[in-house]
Amino acid sequence: MAEEDSMIVNRDFDGPVICVKGLRNSFGSQVVHENLDLDVRKGEILGVVGGSGTGKSVLMRSIIGLQQPDEGSVEVFGESLLGRSEAETIDVRKRWGVLFQGGALFSTLTVAENVMVPMREFYPDMDRAFRREVAKYKVCLSGLPPEASPKYPSELSGGMRKRAGIARALALDPELLFLDEPTAGLDPIGAAAFDNLTRELQQTLGLTVFLITHDLDTLHAICDRVAVLADQQVIAVGTIPELLAMDHPWIQEYFNGPRGRMAASQR
Ligand SMILES: Nc1ncnc2c1ncn2[C@@H]1O[C@H](COP(=O)(O)OP(=O)(O)OP(=O)(O)O)[C@@H](O)[C@H]1O
Ligand SMILES: [Mg+2]
C-alpha cells in the first residue's frame, strides 16, 4: 500500500507538515480567526494553547477539513486541502489520526470495532481477519490490556476511553496525530501516563503531533514548541522559555501565574 501511495503523494516532502496562512473563520457575526498563520514542523510536538473559546478546536477542524474557512490556505504535507473533494484528499487524510475533544468513540461499537472504523473507511477491501489483527495491535500500542478490545465505551474508565481513542487515531499508521485536550478529565497520574504515551509514540513512530491542551504539565513535559491563540490569531510560537521572554499579558499570566510556576518548578 505504501508504494501505491507514494505515486500519488509526495512522501519526501520536508517542508512544514502543516502550513496555515491567512485563515479566517466566522460563525455569523462572530469572527473566530482573522489572518491566522501557523506552521507545524516535521517530527515536533506542537502544543496549542489559548483561553476557552479562542478557537483551538475550530482551528483543528479547519486543518482536517471539517470546517470550511472563509479565507486562507491550509496545506498538509505540502498538499492544499481547501476546496477539494473528500476523494481528492483521501491520500493525505489517510496520513493523519485524530483524537477529538471528549473522545468521540462510537458508543454502540466495541473498542476493537471503533479502531476498525478508519480501516473500513479508507481500506474497504482489507481482509477482515487482518483488520482484526491490526486492531488488536493498536489497542496494545495504546497501553490498554487486550481484555479491553471487546468492551463498549460505557464499560471503560475515562482514561481507558482516551487510550481507545488513541488506538483508533493510530489505526492507519499515521505520520501526523491531532489530539484535542487528551488529558482533560484525567487524574494527574493518568495524565502523566498519557503524556508519556504521546512522547513514546512520537519518538518511536516518528510522529508529528498537533496537541491542543490546557494542561501546563503536559506543555512542560512533552511539547517541543507551543503556539498561543489569542485575539483571533496565533500571537506567538516558540519554546516555553521563548514565550516567557515575551511581555504579552495573557502569556505572562498563563505561564508565569501560580499554576505555570508550579508546573515549571516540577521539571
Ligand atoms: N459549529 C459552530 N457553530 C457556531 N459557533 C461555533 C461552532 N463551533 C465553534 N463555535 C464557536 O467558536 C468559538 C471557538 O470555539 P472552539 O470550540 O474552537 O473553542 P476552543 O478554543 O476549542 O475552546 P475550549 O478550550 O473550551 O475547548 C466559540 O465561541 C464557539 O462557540
Ligand atoms: Mg476545544
What is the rounded distance in angstroms from the CA atom of residue 245 to the CA atom of residue 29?
Answer: 35
- For 74, list phi and psi in degrees, rounded to 5: -130, 120
pTM over 0.95: no
If pLDDT is split at 50, 70 and 90, which confidence band does 9 have? low
What is the rounded distance in angstroms from the CA atom of residue 161 to the CA atom of residue 116?
Answer: 15
If pLDDT is split at 50, 70 and 90, which confidence band does 154 have? very high
The finding on whether 51 has its CB within 6 A of some atom of ligand 1 is: no
Judge whether residue 214 has pLDDT over 70. yes
Task: Give the bridge partners for 45, in sequence order.
Answer: 209
What is the rounded distance in angstroms from the CA atom of residue 96 to the CA atom of residue 63?
Answer: 11
Task: Give the bridge partners for 39, in sequence order.
Answer: 19
Write the pLDDT tens digit of every residue in 221-256.
999 999 999 999 999 999 999 999 998 999 998 988
The finding on whether 81 has its CB within 6 A of some atom of ligand 1 is: no
The finding on whether 85 has its CB within 6 A of some atom of ligand 1 is: no
Residue with the nearest Cα to atom 5 of ligand 1?
27
Q: Give the residue, out of 32, 33, 210, 213, with the most ligand 1 atoms within 8 A of its beta carbon, to mutate for a pocket test.
A: 32
The predicted model gives 35-62 an average pLDDT of 96
DSSP assignment of 182-210 equals TTTT--HHHHHHHHHHHHHHHHHH--EEE
Computed over every residue of the chain, the mean pLDDT equals 90
Judge whether residue 13 has pLDDT over 80. no
Q: How many residues does the chain have?
A: 267
Q: Give the residue, out of 52, 58, 211, with the most ligand 1 atoms within 8 A of its beta carbon, to mutate for a pocket test.
A: 58
Cβ atoms of 161 and 185 closer than 8 Å: no
* Rounded percentage of the chain residues whose pLDDT exceeds 90: 67
Task: Kindly provide the b/e burial profile for residues 40-59, where b requires at least 16 CB atoms within 10 angstroms of the residue's own CB.
Answer: bebebbbbbbbeeebbbbbb
What is the rounded distance in angstroms from the CA atom of residue 157 to the CA atom of residue 186?
Answer: 10
The finding on whether 57 has its CB within 6 A of some atom of ligand 1 is: yes
Cell representation of residue 174: 499515521
Q: Give the residue, out of 52, 57, 181, with the most ligand 1 atoms within 8 A of its beta carbon, to mutate for a pocket test.
A: 57
The finding on whether 32 has its CB within 6 A of some atom of ligand 1 is: yes
